[in-house]
Amino acid sequence: MKKLFFDLFPIILFFVAYQIAQSHPQAAYDSLTWLGIQLAPTQKPGVFIATLVAIVATFGQIGWLKLRGHTIDTMLWVSLVLIVVFGSATLVFHSETFIKWKPTVLYWVFALSLALAPRLAGRNLIRLMMQGQLELPDPVWVRLNQMWVLFFTAMGLANAWIANAYDTDTWVNFKLFGTLGLMLVFVLAQGVYLSRHMKEST
CB atoms < 10 A from the CB of 98, how many? 19
* Domain shared by 103 and 76, yes or no: no
Task: Specify the higher pLDDT residue, 95 or 3.
Answer: 95
Q: What is the pLDDT of residues 110-132, one digit of tens each?
A: 999 999 999 988 889 888 888 77
> In whole angstroms, what is the distance from residue 113 CA to residue 27 CA?
41
pLDDT for 2: 64
* Domain shared by 86 and 181, yes or no: no
pLDDT for 26: 94
CA 199 to chain centre: 32
Task: Specify the higher pLDDT residue, 199 or 6.
Answer: 6
H helix or E strand, kind and range, residue 27: helix 25-34
Give the residue from 34, 67, 93 where a domain finishes.
93
* Domain shared by 189 and 101, yes or no: yes
* Domain shared by 74 and 160, yes or no: no
* Domain shared by 99 and 24, yes or no: no
Q: What is the pLDDT of residues 2-54, one digit of tens each?
A: 666 788 889 999 999 999 999 999 999 999 999 999 998 889 999 999 999 99
* Domain shared by 113 and 103, yes or no: yes
Give the residue from 93, 120, 151 where a domain finishes.
93
* Domain shared by 14 and 58, yes or no: yes
* Domain shared by 126 and 45, yes or no: no
pLDDT for 4: 67
Range of the domain at 161: 95-202
Q: What is the pLDDT of residues 126-172, one digit of tens each?
A: 888 887 777 888 888 899 999 999 999 999 999 999 999 999 999 99
- Under 8 Å between Cβ of 105 and 97: no
Q: What is the pLDDT of residues 65-92, one digit of tens each?
A: 999 998 888 889 999 999 999 999 999 9
pLDDT band at 202 (very low <50, low <70, confident <90, very high): very low
pLDDT for 20: 97
- Reply yes or no on whether the pLDDT at 198 is more than 70: no
Amino acid occupying residue 46? G
* Domain shared by 89 and 104, yes or no: no
Gyration radius of the chain's alpha carbons: 19
Give the residue from 44, 74, 93 where a domain finishes.
93
> In whole angstroms, what is the distance from residue 81 CA to residue 85 CA?
6
Please count the structural domains in the chain.
Answer: 2
* Domain shared by 170 and 106, yes or no: yes
- Reply yes or no on whether the pLDDT at 189 is more than 50: yes
- Reply yes or no on whether the pLDDT at 200 is more than 50: no
> In whole angstroms, what is the distance from residue 159 CA to residue 166 CA?
10
* Domain shared by 103 and 161, yes or no: yes
* Domain shared by 193 and 101, yes or no: yes
Q: Taking residues 46-64, report their average pLDDT.
A: 96
pLDDT for 71: 87
pLDDT for 127: 87
